[in-house]
Amino acid sequence: MSSPAFLKSTRGRWILGALAAAGILVWFLRPAGADSKASTFTARRGPLDITVLGGGSVEALESWQIRSEVRGEPVKILKLVEEGTLVSEDDVRTNKVLVELDASKIQQSLLNQDISFQTTLAGLTEAQQGYEIQLNQGRVDMRGAEQDAKFAFMDLEKLLGRKITAELVQKLDLIDRPDTNLLARAESGELEPDTDPGDTVGTTNARVRVNSTAPARVVVDFTQYANVDLLGDGTAKQELRKREDELLVTKTALGQAQTKLAGTRRLFEKGFVTKTELENDQISADQAHLKVESAQTTLDLYLRYEFTKSAEETLSKYEKALRTLERVRKEAVSKLAQSAAKMKSAERRYRIEKENRDELAGQIQKAVITAQKPGLVVYGGNDNMWWGGNEPIRVGSQVYERQPIITIPDTTQMGVKLGIHESHIKQVSKGLKVKITVDAFPDDALTGDVTKVGVLPDSQGRFMSPDMKLYQCTIAIQGTRDWLKPGMSAKVEILVKQLPDVVYVPLQAVTSRTGKQYVFLPGSKPREREVTTGAFNESFIEIRKGLDAGETVLLRLPDEERQAGEGHGDPGKPTAPSPGGAAKPLALR
């Protein structure tokens, strides 16, 4: 069959092809230990870089977001710069319009607010003028009441003299104690309207308390002062002295008349004068006596009635003037406090109306957004997911307050944001060096540093996939590239540790069972060996004990071990998850 004729025949060639195919199939289905070169690895000694791999998107570390600052209802976009437009420095200097929002409703509100503002302004002017009028009127009223009290005091002092007047004022506590700061406090608005019921002066809007428990009136006996030596230099002393002088004159005249009558009577008895002369002298004596009685009565009436009445009236007028002065002061303060409160209320309303008008005017200005920083125009922002259900950013769509409309990233500070699995987060820290490969430009390797590591799992990722805990990590790319754009996909390799001289084998060569790690040595019957592992990366793992460099290990489990593991499993066997979330049959120490 091996003759050249057989090999040249069609049947012979078909049989040889079938045998070759069967041989290839047998080679592929051979046991694991049948060919050590295809399923084994020789342990190596040398440097081993411990890295954490991940993937993310290129983003600008710093960006300027243009948000809608128009309050209230959503507004329509009337004008919008095209996405991808490069805003230049000239655009910033010329205030190029990037977004224009519909402000027609705000303009109508501003018109209505301006009408209300003008009315409020008129009310404020009226309140200010009323306050000035009330202030001046209060000053005039108080000045007049002070003069009346002063004149009443002068009348009392004029009547009784300084000494008695001072004694009475002190005794009756009729001393004017004006609160010089009361009016000033009313002018400054410190006196607030009093709503406490009780004795008050003024209107119900602004009240000043009046002492309702005034001391009882002390009755003064003025007869004790009816003495020329006590009265001093008052008019009462002059009146008393006049009446006493009149009484003294009449008494003197009475004495002269009686002396003359006695002499005439002696002469009449001797016959030197007539009876008529005697009778005339008797009449003169009687008249002098009547004058004495009249003068005495006048003096007594003055002391008992006129002096007491005049003193009482003058003292009462002074006391009344003091009470009037107190009432006028309090009324002036009360009315001024009311006027000040009204003016302050008008001022507050004016400020509110003005702020509302200014706010609406500012809202109209905020409806036109101009360029403030150069950069590339990107619609929306990183937090657009929270505006779910809204229309896409375009002319005619509605935007809400604080909704991002445009994001202008700073392309001079680019980075990568990615999620680090919880199994690797303890290995990652700020300052670690990073290798970055952008999918669109795989031949241009980039470097960077870890600038931020999240302390809590990403809330967004936890919501999307509750079983996977990812921590946000930020990588800052060193240098600038013109071709580097936000949104590009990138692979990241974080250099966690560099082991200078260790023994290492591939990850799949190590298996874990009952809390221990093993490798399998090739042979007619594979032999297991316990090893102690150390750090690892995505491809290799450190062997600290149990295996030397140059020894050969199997890259896959023997069939019986694999079947036993699949059939029974090992509940205590931990796994080392990869950055992508897949688990490897390996326990780490």
Is the predicted pLDDT of residue 506 greater than 90, yes or no?
A: yes
Instruction: State the amino acid at position 426 in one-letter form.
Output: K
CA–CA separation, 589 and 586 (whole Å): 10
How does residue 190 score in pLDDT terms, banded at 50, 70 and 90?
low
Structure tokens at 281: 């002298």
Per-residue pLDDT tens for 528-568? 899 999 888 888 999 999 999 999 999 887 766 665 555 44
Domains of the chain: 73-102+367-409 (2.40.50), 120-351 (no CATH), 500-584 (2.40.420.20)
* Per-residue pLDDT, 526: 86
CA–CA separation, 168 and 426 (whole Å): 95
> Across the chain, what does the average pLDDT equal?
79
* Rg (the chain; Cα; Å): 59
CA–CA separation, 261 and 74 (whole Å): 126
What is the pLDDT averaged over residues 307-332? 89
Q: Are residues 203 and 338 in contact, defined by beta-carbon separation less than 8 angstroms?
A: yes
CA–CA separation, 293 and 300 (whole Å): 10
More confident call, 178 vs 565: 178
Is the predicted pLDDT of residue 337 greater than 90, yes or no?
A: no
Angle at 255 between CA 251 and CA 257, to 5 degrees: 115
* Per-residue pLDDT, 195: 37
What is the pLDDT averaged over residues 415-425? 86
Report the b/e string of 495-512 with b at 16+ CB within 10 A: ebeeeeebbbbebbbbbb
According to DSSP, the β-strands at 398-399 and 404-409 are unpaired
Is the predicted pLDDT of residue 35 greater than 80, yes or no?
A: no
Is the predicted pLDDT of residue 21 greater than 70, yes or no?
A: no
To which residue do tokens 């006129």 refer? 306
Coil vs helix vs strand at 177: coil
CA–CA separation, 129 and 343 (whole Å): 9
Close Cβ partners of 535 (under 8 Å, ≥ 6 residues apart): 48, 50, 497, 499, 541, 542
Contacts 24+ apart (CB under 8 A), 223-228: 223/303, 223/304, 223/307, 223/308, 225/160, 225/164, 225/311, 226/303, 226/307
* Per-residue pLDDT, 564: 56
* Per-residue pLDDT, 99: 93
Close Cβ partners of 118 (under 8 Å, ≥ 6 residues apart): none
More confident call, 106 vs 579: 106
Q: Say what percent of the chain tops pLDDT 70.
A: 78
What is the pLDDT averaged over residues 144-170? 88
Q: How many CB atoms lie within 10 A of CB 186?
A: 25
Q: How many CB atoms lie within 10 A of CB 137?
A: 14
Is the predicted pLDDT of residue 202 greater than 60, yes or no?
A: no
Is the predicted pLDDT of residue 27 greater than 60, yes or no?
A: no
Close Cβ partners of 398 (under 8 Å, ≥ 6 residues apart): 74, 75, 76, 77, 390, 391
Close Cβ partners of 124 (under 8 Å, ≥ 6 residues apart): 343, 346, 347, 349, 350
φ and ψ at residue 240, rounded to 5 degrees: -65, -40
The answer to whether the pTM exceeds 0.85 is: no
φ and ψ at residue 498, rounded to 5 degrees: -120, 115
DSSP notation for 344-360: HHHHHHHHHHHHHHHHH
Is the predicted pLDDT of residue 350 greater than 50, yes or no?
A: yes
* Per-residue pLDDT, 129: 94
CA–CA separation, 273 and 267 (whole Å): 6
More confident call, 109 vs 205: 109
How does residue 376 score in pLDDT terms, banded at 50, 70 and 90?
confident
According to DSSP, the β-strands at 40-42 and 552-554 are antiparallel
According to DSSP, the β-strands at 470-477 and 441-453 are antiparallel
What is the pLDDT averaged over residues 453-475? 76
Contacts 24+ apart (CB under 8 A), 451-455: 451/61, 451/415, 451/475, 451/476, 453/420, 453/425, 453/428, 453/429, 454/420
Per-residue pLDDT tens for 48-102? 988 888 888 888 888 888 898 888 889 999 999 998 888 888 999 999 999 999 9
φ and ψ at residue 148, rounded to 5 degrees: -65, -40
Structure tokens at 349: 């309303």
DSSP alpha helix (H) spans, 29-103: 36-39, 89-93
**E-assigned strands of 387-466?**
398-399, 404-409, 414-421, 433-438, 441-453
* Per-residue pLDDT, 586: 43
What is the pLDDT averaged over residues 177-181? 70
Is the predicted pLDDT of residue 207 greater than 50, yes or no?
A: no
* Per-residue pLDDT, 111: 92
